[in-house]
Amino acid sequence: MMTDKTGLSMIELLIGVVIFGLAMVPLMWMGTTQTRGAYSVGKHMMAGQIAASFLDSILGLPYDECFEKVQKLTKSGKMKVLDNEELKETLQAVSNQSVEKDMQTSFRNFKYKFEFSHDEEKLILRIDIEVFYRVDEGVEKSEQSLKLSVLKHGARNG
């Protein structure tokens, strides 16, 4: 006389769990890769916003003031973004302690560098800003950058 077994044996259950686990590994790996990619894209976008904010504040100045400011900024070399009070104010939309803390966390590894070329005859100033940011790839840390360039035209006096 045979009895009907409707349950799973321990071996069948163990094999099912192993197969499920092996199927999940590529999905988890893909998820972490996409998360890292999104984080890197976010840093790139933040670098672009920093560069654009800085250029906007400089381009709003009259030509001579803009030229003087860019000359000073170029001599400074590579600087930390949070060391520049003007830029810090531009980036900080709301002035409160929690926003300040978030900025310290978000922008602590961002640096910027200015370069320029000047055509005195045509009164054209080319301004380049490069914003550097750190990307963490597991244990590996690398520095990437985003560079924006603009032209400022001057007017002759008299």
Sign of the dihedral through C-alpha 55, 60, 63, 68: negative
What distances in angstroms separate CA 32 from CA 28, 51, 130, 147, 156, one per listed residue? 6, 29, 29, 28, 57
What is the number of other CB atoms lying within 10 angstroms of the CB of residue 48? Answer: 13
DSSP-derived 3-state class of residue 155: coil
- Summarised one tens digit per residue, pLDDT across range 134-149 is 887 666 778 888 999 9
In sign, the C-alpha dihedral spanning 98, 40, 108, 110 is negative
pTM of the model: 0.68
Could you tell me the residue ranges of all domains in the chain?
10-153
| CA angle 112–44–91, rounded 5-degree value | 60
Q: Which whole number is the average pLDDT over 36-45? A: 77
Q: What is the mean pLDDT of residues 38-58?
A: 84
Judge whether residue 38 has pLDDT over 80.
Answer: no
